[in-house]
Structure 1
Amino acid sequence: MWAYESVFYQIYPMGFCGAPWENDGKTVNRVSKIATWAKHIASVGCNALYLSPVFESDSHGYDTRDFRKIDCRLGSNADFAAVCDTLHENGIRVVLDGVFNHVGRGFWAFRDVQEKKWDSPYKDWFLINFDGNSNYNDGFWYEGWEGHYELVKLNLRNEAVIQHIFDCIRGWVEEFDIDGLRLDVAYSLDRDFMRRLRAFCDTLKPDFFLVGEVMSSDCSPFLADGMLHACTNYDCYKGLYSSFNSMNMFEITHSLQRQFGPEYWTLYKGKHLLSFVDNHDVTRVASILQNEKHLPLIYALMVGMPGIPCIYYGSEWGEKAVKQPGSDANLRPCFDEPQSNELTAFIAKLAEAKKNSKALCYGNFTTRLLTTKQVIFERAFEDERVMVAINADDQPFTAHFNAEAGRARDLITGEVHDFGGGSELPPYFAAYWQVF
């Protein structure tokens, strides 16, 4: 699977392209801006792009009006197809947000129910009770997503709904040549629908990738045979920044050991999760880390641990933003142009190391050394072994552990490392030692 050997980049198109919050009905080609960033995305070392919602919606994108049409605030279907062509020409795969649990109140089929009530042929597309009433005084009650009634829950047990979604996905492959889907709130989706979705997508193109948004500490039900290829690793999201802020590497190592370690109860042996230090829903990592010198290190740890790394646009140069109650606009900004600095260059080196190492893409996880401020773990696959070493301290540290090897090459710097007599870890240090 190509995704297991990829480094993802995430863009929230509505914010990135400077689209107005409310759908004004005016078609403006803003989405072509994404194509102008293709070379930057590739220069960061990313070879896959995850795009948050792009389809016609009421406001933020997750309240879909029409799965068949690119949001007019972003442009036309032809505009977006040209963007996908440019991305593919630059070696970047395209994964779209599949928002299938719910739609917006402006969704065409729901509008028909509002008008015709029980006479609408689409009344069974939603979970409706005509004996009640909604907060919007529709004359009927309907189920919303987690109490958000601007998000109307779809009936994923209705065959017409399923076939409509499948037809739309087929259209996205034919029109835009997409390479996969990220399933929004996958934890809320009907499991039978998810299984049918996987079987359907397997017929569309080889290695069509499905990754689900899952908040649970156990994603294994979603990674069973015939289900998803990957899930979001929220279990390690908090542990990554908390381990640095509390100077306690035991926290993240415990989570990784639980997920991928050698013990018989390990959750995800041979499975893959999508790793991240921030995204469109959370405070940017540069704002949450208490010591800015830990910023390169948290990326080194995230890229080096088991999983598929994902970089959120702007964070590769250390952009800051804090999640605010009631609005995520500051987390989803419009930048005039991409920036690059030492952090960007460092992340690019990490990405290249990851993509070119089978051990970093597929290897198991074994802890070699662990203190509160340092961690060294091994990723091994077939005949390749890579040691990921992190020193979060402002002081040098000499690591004594059995590397079962004499020397290694750092995949980040290319320098040769000698394990004899102890391994010297300078302050605020990260290395990927490939044993030879």
Structure 2
Amino acid sequence: MSWSDHAIWWHAHPLGFLGAERTALPPGEPPRHRLPVLTDWLDHLVGLGCNGLALGPVFASETHGYDTVDHFRIDPRLGTEDDLVELTEQAASRGVRVLLDGVFNHVGRSFGPFADVVRDGAASPYADWFVPDGDDFRVFEGHRHLVALNHDAPAVADHVVAVLDHWLDRGVSGWRLDAAYAVPRPFWRTVTDRVRARRPQAWFSGEVIHGDYAAYVTEGGLDSVTQYELWKAIWSSLNDVNPHELAWALQRHDALLDTFAPQTFVGNHDVTRIASRLREGRHVAHALAVLFTVGGVPSVYAGDERALPGVKEEREGGDDAVRPAFPADPSGLGAQGLPVERLHRSLIGVRRRNAWLVRARTRVHTLTDQVLAYTLTDPDGAATVAVALNFGAAPVEAALPAADWTPAAGEATLHAGGRRGAVALPEFGWFVATAAEIPS
């Protein structure tokens, strides 16, 4: 296994998390040293069982971080390069790796090379970095303030490689590549191959919302992509009390595992928080049971471990509710959501004790209009994890293979008498168990 097979990420959006100003600081303003505050959260993520800190954008930008103006400079609203290096070193001292968010599909209009092109036109040395479009330039998904880079230009690839190398040399372990689906896959292959020639252990996960997930690995050279299809199936199947939808998604998920381990999640900085997305609060446990047992590289969005609410809206500023400011340290959260935090700790503990789950396939044993029960087995045959989920408001039974199951989390009754396979689930009940052998 590589180090990434053991990774469980805790994901924070620094500009929101640290309460930064909404827009860039005026020229000449001293930097605000906010990044060091995250050091006081490292023990929290380690306590959850995570060993990775996935940061949203930290580079100089105009507003929300995805309109980058300088990939080599930390946003002064967050601090300085020294602050990031110190955070990375503090994380490493706790066994925590750091993942940065690289926005290389588009830039803000104040991005130096673009400003040069606007001023000098075809005479600019950066003229081929951007694609003319009418009286302007190509932009990202209709957003005029996000100017698309020309990924056919070799100089753009050179620039991205230089950025990736610069921050890998300063201690980060990998990159989330924003809007990877909007970038030609051959560009990613060129970039990742060149970076890996120097940093073979670097890990690259692409934001891919739709399209051929596996192709971004086989053709694009990425290690992983975001598993939006599974994310949607988890909350949608629970809201609709439709285990069949989730079972179908797990089947498709298993097919991806033949190629790579997807980055799995039930929340991130771009979507409504899971506690607000689910209509039935008791379904949060079901969503987490799936997240931490199925194959993939899981991540926890900061605050979801405390069941924080937050609804994303399709409007300017519509992300604010899912990117709130946090207190200076975890004690500032008080007692809110502590049972959900304990649930995270318990299920991540199961994951840690069964690291082989990163590439495990699911085998469904019970599938009805209310119940889904599945198992995952170590390829070496040394252990099995079982999951049983009652989506509905009536007690039910689920069938698992007969084995000497040891309850690990949840609430259920294993039928006594010999080897046990039948599980009685209360309303909205769920159950995770382990066995030290392959069930019959």
What is the TM-score normalised by the length of structure 1?
Answer: 0.91
Counterpart amino acid of residue 364 in structure 1: R
User: Per-residue deviation at 1:416?
Assistant: 11
RMSD of aligned residue pairs (Cα, Å)? 2.0
Aligned to 2:160: 165
Q: Check whether the contact 1:408–1:433 (CA below 8 A) recurs between aligned residues.
A: yes
User: CA–CA distance in 2 between the matches of 1:66 and 1:51?
Assistant: 17
Q: Check whether the contact 1:199–1:226 (CA below 8 A) recurs between aligned residues.
A: no
Aligned to 2:13: 12
User: Per-residue deviation at 1:410?
Assistant: 2.9
Aligned to 1:252: 246
Aligned to 2:426: 426
1:296-375 → structure 2 map (5 Å cutoff): 296-326=285-315, 327=317, 328-336=319-327, 337-338=329-330, 339=333, 341-375=338-372
User: Per-residue deviation at 1:415?
Assistant: 11
Q: Can you give the 5+ residue segments of structure 1 that lack an aligned partner in the other structure?
A: 134-140, 261-265
Q: Which moves more between the two structures, 383-392 or 109-118?
A: 383-392
User: CA–CA distance in 1 between the matches of 2:193 and 2:409?
Assistant: 39
Aligned to 2:284: 295
Q: Check whether the contact 1:28–1:73 (CA below 8 A) recurs between aligned residues.
A: yes
Q: Which moves more between the two structures, 351-360 or 23-32?
A: 351-360
Q: 1:292 to 1:200 in 2, by over 3 A?
A: same
- The 3-state SS of whatever aligns with 2:420 is coil
- The 3-state SS of whatever aligns with 1:163 is helix
C-alpha offsets along residues 154-180 of structure 1, whole Å, 9 cap, x if unaligned? 1122122211211121110122x1111
Q: Check whether the contact 2:411–2:430 (CA below 8 A) recurs between aligned residues.
A: no
- The 3-state SS of whatever aligns with 2:54 is strand
Matched, 1:39 2:43: yes
Matched, 1:104 2:97: no
- The 3-state SS of whatever aligns with 2:292 is helix
C-alpha offsets along residues 241-278 of structure 1, whole Å, 9 cap, x if unaligned? 11111111111111111231xxxxx3442521111112
Q: Can you give the 5+ residue segments of structure 2 that lack an aligned partner in the other structure?
A: none
Aligned to 2:224: 230
- The 3-state SS of whatever aligns with 1:400 is strand
Q: Which moves more between the two structures, 215-224 or 271-280?
A: 215-224
Matched, 1:190 2:184: yes
User: CA–CA distance in 1 between the matches of 2:10 and 2:87?
Assistant: 15
User: CA–CA distance in 1 between the matches of 2:175 and 2:421?
Assistant: 49
User: Per-residue deviation at 1:122?
Assistant: 0.8
Q: Check whether the contact 1:355–1:361 (CA below 8 A) recurs between aligned residues.
A: no
- The 3-state SS of whatever aligns with 2:34 is coil
1:14-413 → structure 2 map (5 Å cutoff): 14-25=15-26, 26=29, 27-128=31-132, 132-133=134-135, 141-175=136-170, 177-216=171-210, 218-224=212-218, 227-260=221-254, 266-326=255-315, 327=317, 328-336=319-327, 337-338=329-330, 339=333, 341-380=338-377, 381-383=379-381, 384-401=383-400, 403=401, 405-412=402-409
Q: Check whether the contact 1:18–1:333 (CA below 8 A) recurs between aligned residues.
A: yes
C-alpha offsets along residues 170-192 of structure 1, whole Å, 9 cap, x if unaligned? 110122x1111111111111211
User: Per-residue deviation at 1:206?
Assistant: 4.1
User: Per-residue deviation at 1:21?
Assistant: 0.9
Q: Check whether the contact 2:256–2:262 (CA below 8 A) recurs between aligned residues.
A: no
User: Per-residue deviation at 1:44?
Assistant: 1.4
Q: 1:421 to 1:104 in 2, by over 3 A?
A: closer
C-alpha offsets along residues 41-61 of structure 1, whole Å, 9 cap, x if unaligned? 111111112111100111111
Q: Which moves more between the two structures, 346-355 or 98-107?
A: 346-355
User: CA–CA distance in 2 between the matches of 1:149 and 1:212?
Assistant: 23
Counterpart amino acid of residue 380 in structure 2: E
User: CA–CA distance in 2 between the matches of 1:202 and 1:431?
Assistant: 42
User: CA–CA distance in 1 between the matches of 2:405 and 2:356?
Assistant: 14
User: CA–CA distance in 2 between the matches of 1:106 and 1:250?
Assistant: 49
Q: Check whether the contact 1:247–1:373 (CA below 8 A) recurs between aligned residues.
A: yes
User: Per-residue deviation at 1:413?
Assistant: 7.5
User: Per-residue deviation at 1:370?
Assistant: 1.1
User: Per-residue deviation at 1:395?
Assistant: 3.5
User: Per-residue deviation at 1:332?
Assistant: 0.5
Q: Which moves more between the two structures, 339-348 or 405-414?
A: 405-414
Counterpart amino acid of residue 424 in structure 1: A
User: CA–CA distance in 2 between the matches of 1:414 and 1:88?
Assistant: 37
What is the TM-score normalised by the length of structure 2?
Answer: 0.90
User: Per-residue deviation at 1:382?
Assistant: 1.7
User: CA–CA distance in 2 between the matches of 1:122 and 1:190?
Assistant: 20
The count of corresponding residues between Structure 1 and Structure 2 is: 419
C-alpha offsets along residues 309-347 of structure 1, whole Å, 9 cap, x if unaligned? 111111110100111231211111101143360110110
User: Per-residue deviation at 1:421?
Assistant: 6.3
C-alpha offsets along residues 69-105 of structure 1, whole Å, 9 cap, x if unaligned? 0001100100111111111112211111111111110
User: Per-residue deviation at 1:411?
Assistant: 3.6
Q: Check whether the contact 2:214–2:259 (CA below 8 A) recurs between aligned residues.
A: no
